[in-house]
């Protein structure tokens, strides 16, 4: 994926309802600007352009796709009404075309009416429905896009007119434009279902200043300000509760439906709903830094990472259409020349049917939409997927590697005991350890800080060594707090027992150790069983901890493959070894502490508890918002379901095409049926893709999610 610079803007593209147009705009702009800087996103109807090029982009788009308008964040305005006008005119035109088409049949039924009226009405219907298509085809030819679907339709219908098949020509254009209208509606609907996520952020907040409560825009609230959140309201900004207690509904953010109690001192996130009493919250992040803002940003970018199938389709469409035109040409010319008693008019007609059927609409519309819906479904389940390509890799995962602490265990260590050497008390050991751990966010540090007699601040220089521990330089002393590997590096021989232990050494000699224990997550066993049942063949535990506690945990969970004593970079090596010899992607799941490198190195890096850690959000491909391990199988199911829908659509569309192409060449079908089938399969495919979003919500689809 190309790196995306900071000064690029995300703008909306209004009226973007065909993916081929999206690709055309992207290609044209990248050619014009000379670099690979522009991304057009069909499912979200957005474009990313460098800010200084927006005017150029506007002009280029106006030239190649006059129906599409670019709207950037600052140019909100009254123009929207203008678009509604365009929309109404479009519907009116299509409606009139349908009427004229229907009326065209009257003279055939009522013999008293002159036949010429029928022809005139069919021509009227043709012109009303077809003029945008023909205009686009001419523009396409002007731009040297000789082979797009508009050109196909125009060729086919003008050909039909030349053969005197007026009803046929009108039917093609009328069905095509009705189909496009329905399709645009379906696309628009699923788009808004997914982007409704964006509505999670309230736009205003109750700012408390000098005891007065004033409603202001979230942009005007800064970190440090105090805001009020009343019962039933959405929390507008990330902050810490300073008064009141409540139960929070975080379902929109994390997919977790159980309310969570929160009270003074707890952090709350923008987007959750205050289900209890009135709160006062000290804001800790600006509105564009909030967790939900970052999530939305990631989702926006997610759609820009295309799945291999999508990339294939784009290339496929470039070759496919010219190929079909060539075949149609051959069908029109060769049989009459080579076979006796075959007329040109019969074979030209068959070639025209072929042209109509060949439109790859169903595929190019439904496939990106399917991935988009899959990403949307995942985010409804509290799973952030960073790209369509990630969904695809997930499908092929057969090897899962996991971190221990915070992933298979609940990430809360308890102190089981403290052992001291001559001259040190238990409190000394705890205090030294707490000083060293005062700035670490490792679960071990949390446990020690929880138990420390009083909150100590470090009064020296700290150095955290990932996977080993901490060095503290306190006055003239060198204090090492960490595992046997750290002690080894300090030249101290230690014996480790059967537990996770933190050794404390002062100036090169051992002062004592803290013995810790952690418990497996309640859901670990069931999740692992679920993964195995889904066809995951190998589950591997990778940890930086010592052997015995690792072995104990692995045994209790039924994991046979486990590796211990690993530094973060050793985990990377292990993941690479797991992949060796096969092309199957490897999934690594971790809590994001000390495992950013391996999250990035794995084909699918899964970070748990994403609302907490920035590094994990950055490095992972998939972020599970709530700290829930069982969302990993859910993510696999969503990926499989998405791919199933995409394949269904592809197979359905291609199969139907194959059938109709054969029928067309044999002369068994007319243009009518061809268009009808094409429009029908497109709409079915769009609905099939979009309905993914509802999976897991309705009863039947929930079953899909379980059995996919």
Neighbours of 7 (CB within 10 A): 7
Q: By CB under 6 A, name the one of 41, 150, 405, 650 that touches ligand ADP.
A: 405
From first CA to last CA, the distance across the chain in angstroms is 29
Give me the 594-623 binding string for Mg ion, x by CB under 5 A, dash otherwise.
Answer: x-----------------------------
Q: What angle do CA 303, 271, 522 make, to 5 degrees?
A: 85
Closer residue to ligand ADP in complex, CB, 39/574: 574
Is residue 403 annotated as part of the catalytic site, yes or no?
yes
Catalytic residue among 225, 238, 389, 403: 403
From 89-97, 437-445, 554-562, 677-685, give the range in contact with ligand ADP by CB under 6 A: 437-445
From 117-125, 202-210, 397-405, 640-648, give the range in contact with ligand ADP by CB under 6 A: 397-405
Asked if 443 and 411 count as a contact pair (C-beta separation under 8 A), the reply is yes
Query: Which of these, 595, 565, 549, 576, lies nearest to 403 by C-alpha position?
Result: 595
375 binds Mg ion (CB under 5 A): no
Closest contact distance (angstroms) between CB of 609 and ligand ADP is 13
Applying the rule CB under 6 A, the residues between 569 and 628 that interact with ligand ADP are: 593-594
Query: Which of these, 561, 25, 662, lies nearest to 357 by C-alpha position?
Result: 662
Closest contact distance (angstroms) between CB of 571 and ligand ADP is 7
Closest contact distance (angstroms) between CB of 501 and ligand ADP is 8
Pull the structure tokens for residue 492: 């101290």
Asked if 412 and 447 count as a contact pair (C-beta separation under 8 A), the reply is yes
Asked if 559 and 419 count as a contact pair (C-beta separation under 8 A), the reply is no
444 binds ligand ADP (CB under 6 A): yes
Chain-centroid distance, C-alpha 202? 22
From 151-159, 223-231, 589-597, 630-638, give the range in contact with Mg ion by CB under 5 A: 589-597
464 binds Mg ion (CB under 5 A): no
Cβ neighbors of 569 (< 8 A, separation 6 or more) are 597
> Which H or E element spans position 355?
helix 344-357
Closest contact distance (angstroms) between CB of 503 and ligand ADP is 9
Q: Which of ligand ADP, Mg ion, none does 445 bind, CB closer than 5 to 8 A by kind? A: ligand ADP
Give me the 35-54 binding string for ligand ADP, x by CB under 6 A, dash otherwise.
Answer: --------------------
593 binds Mg ion (CB under 5 A): yes
Closer residue to ligand ADP in complex, CB, 75/463: 463
437 binds ligand ADP (CB under 6 A): yes
Q: Which of ligand ADP, Mg ion, none does 442 bind, CB closer than 5 to 8 A by kind? A: ligand ADP
430 binds ligand ADP (CB under 6 A): no
Cβ neighbors of 209 (< 8 A, separation 6 or more) are 225, 226
Q: How many residues does the chain have?
A: 708
Q: Which of ligand ADP, Mg ion, none does 469 bind, CB closer than 5 to 8 A by kind? A: ligand ADP
361 binds Mg ion (CB under 5 A): no
β-pairing verdict for 477-482 and 469-474: antiparallel
List residues bridging with 12 in a β-sheet.
46, 71
642 binds ligand ADP (CB under 6 A): no
Applying the rule CB under 5 A, the residues between 405 and 424 that interact with Mg ion are: 405
> Which H or E element spans position 411?
none
> Phi and psi dihedrals of 584, rounded to 5?
-70, 135
Q: By CB under 6 A, name the one of 255, 467, 610, 696 that touches ligand ADP.
A: 467
Asked if 682 and 187 count as a contact pair (C-beta separation under 8 A), the reply is no
545 binds ligand ADP (CB under 6 A): yes
> Phi and psi dihedrals of 74, rounded to 5?
-80, -20
502 binds ligand ADP (CB under 6 A): yes
Closest contact distance (angstroms) between CB of 558 and ligand ADP is 19
Sign of CA dihedral 129, 131, 136, 138: positive
Task: Please list the alpha-helical segments (H only) found in 74-165.
Answer: 80-103, 106-109, 115-142, 149-162
Q: How far is it, in rounded angstroms, from Cα 213 to Cα 161?
A: 71
- The site that binds ligand ADP (CB under 6 A) totals a number of residues, namely 22
402 binds Mg ion (CB under 5 A): no
468 binds ligand ADP (CB under 6 A): yes
Q: By CB under 6 A, name the one of 442, 637, 645, 657 that touches ligand ADP.
A: 442
Q: By CB under 5 A, name the one of 403, 464, 627, 704 that touches Mg ion.
A: 403
Asked if 266 and 241 count as a contact pair (C-beta separation under 8 A), the reply is yes
Asked if 460 and 472 count as a contact pair (C-beta separation under 8 A), the reply is yes
Query: Which of these, 244, 246, 248, lies nearest to 260 by C-alpha position?
Result: 248
What residues are labeled active site? 403
> Interface residues with ligand ADP (CB under 6 A)?
403-405, 437, 440, 442, 444-445, 467-470, 481-483, 500, 502, 543-545, 593-594
> Interface residues with Mg ion (CB under 5 A)?
403, 405, 593-594
């Amino acid at each position: 994926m190309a790196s995306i610079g900071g000064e690029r803007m995300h703008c909306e593209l209004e009226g973007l309802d065909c993916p081929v147009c999206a690709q055309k705009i992207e290609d044209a702009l990248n050619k014009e600007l000379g670099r690979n800087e522009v991304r057009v996103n069909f499912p979200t109807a957005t474009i990313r352009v460098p800010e200084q090029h927006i005017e150029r982009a506007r002009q280029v788009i106006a030239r190649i796709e006059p129906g599409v308008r670019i709207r950037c964040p600052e140019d909100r305005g009254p123009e929207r009404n203008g678009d509604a006008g365009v929309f109404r005119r479009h519907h009116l035109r299509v409606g009139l075309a349908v009427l004229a088409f229907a009326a065209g049949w009257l003279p055939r039924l009522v013999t008293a009416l002159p036949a010429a009226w029928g022809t005139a009405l069919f021509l009227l219907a043709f012109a009303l429905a077809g003029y945008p298509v023909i205009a686009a085809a001419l523009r396409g030819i002007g731009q040297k896009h000789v082979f797009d679907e508009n050109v196909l339709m125009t060729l086919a219908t003008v050909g039909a007119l030349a053969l005197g098949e007026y009803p046929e020509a009108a039917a093609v254009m009328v069905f095509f434009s009705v189909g496009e209208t329905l399709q645009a509606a379906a696309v628009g609907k699923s788009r808004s279902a997914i982007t409704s996520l964006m509505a999670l952020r309230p736009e205003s907040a109750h700012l408390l200043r000098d005891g007065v409560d004033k409603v202001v825009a979230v942009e005007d609230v800064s970190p440090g300000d105090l805001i009020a959140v009343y019962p039933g309201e959405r929390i507008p900004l990330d902050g810490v509760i300073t008064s009141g207690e409540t139960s929070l509904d975080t379902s929109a953010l994390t997919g977790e439906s159980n309310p969570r109690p929160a009270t003074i001192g707890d952090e709350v996130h923008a987007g959750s709903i205050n289900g209890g009493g009135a709160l006062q919250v000290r804001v800790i992040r600006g509105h564009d830094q909030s967790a939900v803002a970052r999530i939305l940003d990631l989702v926006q970018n997610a759609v820009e990472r295309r799945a291999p199938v999508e990339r294939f389709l784009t290339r496929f469409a470039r070759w496919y259409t010219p190929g079909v035109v060539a075949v149609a040409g051959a069908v029109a010319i060769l049989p009459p020349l080579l076979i006796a008693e075959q007329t040109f008019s019969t074979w030209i007609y068959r070639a025209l049917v072929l042209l109509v059927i060949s439109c790859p609409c169903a595929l190019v519309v439904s496939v990106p939409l399917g991935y988009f819906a899959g990403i949307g479904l995942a985010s409804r389940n509290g799973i952030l997927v960073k790209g369509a390509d990630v969904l695809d890799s997930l499908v092929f995962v057969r090897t899962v590697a996991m971190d221990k602490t915070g992933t298979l265990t609940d990430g809360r260590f308890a102190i089981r005991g403290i052992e001291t050497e001559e001259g040190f008390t238990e409190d000394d050991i705890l205090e030294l350890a707490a000083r060293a751990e005062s700035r670490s966010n490792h679960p071990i540090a949390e446990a020690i800080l929880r138990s420390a007699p009083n909150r100590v601040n470090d009064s020296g220089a700290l150095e955290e060594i990932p996977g080993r521990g901490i060095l503290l330089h306190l006055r003239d002393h060198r204090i090492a707090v960490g595992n046997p590997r750290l002690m080894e590096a300090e030249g101290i021989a230690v014996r480790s027992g059967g537990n996770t232990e933190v050794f404390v050494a002062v100036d090169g000699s051992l002062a004592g150790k803290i013995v810790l224990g952690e418990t497996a997550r309640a859901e670990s066993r069931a999740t692992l069983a679920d993964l195995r049942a889904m066809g995951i063949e190998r589950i591997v535990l990778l940890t930086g901890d010592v052997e015995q506690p690792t072995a104990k945990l692995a045994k209790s969970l039924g994991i046979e493959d486990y590796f211990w004593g690993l530094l973060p970079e050793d985990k990377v090596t292990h993941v690479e070894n797991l992949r060796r010899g096969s092309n199957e992607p490897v999934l690594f799941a971790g809590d994001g502490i000390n495992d950013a490198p391996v999250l990035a190195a794995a084909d699918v890096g899964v970070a748990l508890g994403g609302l907490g850690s920035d590094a994990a959000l950055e490095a992972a491909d998939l972020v599970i918002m709530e700290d829930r391990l069982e969302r990993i199988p859910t993510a696999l199911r969503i990926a499989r379901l998405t791919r199933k829908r995409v394949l269904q659509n592809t197979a359905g569309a291609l199969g139907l095409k194959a059938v109709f192409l054969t029928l067309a060449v044999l002369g068994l079908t007319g243009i009518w049926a061809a268009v009808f089938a094409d429009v029908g399969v497109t709409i079915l495919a769009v609905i099939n893709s979009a309905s993914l979003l509802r999976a897991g919500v309705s009863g039947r689809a929930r079953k899909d999610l379980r059995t996919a």
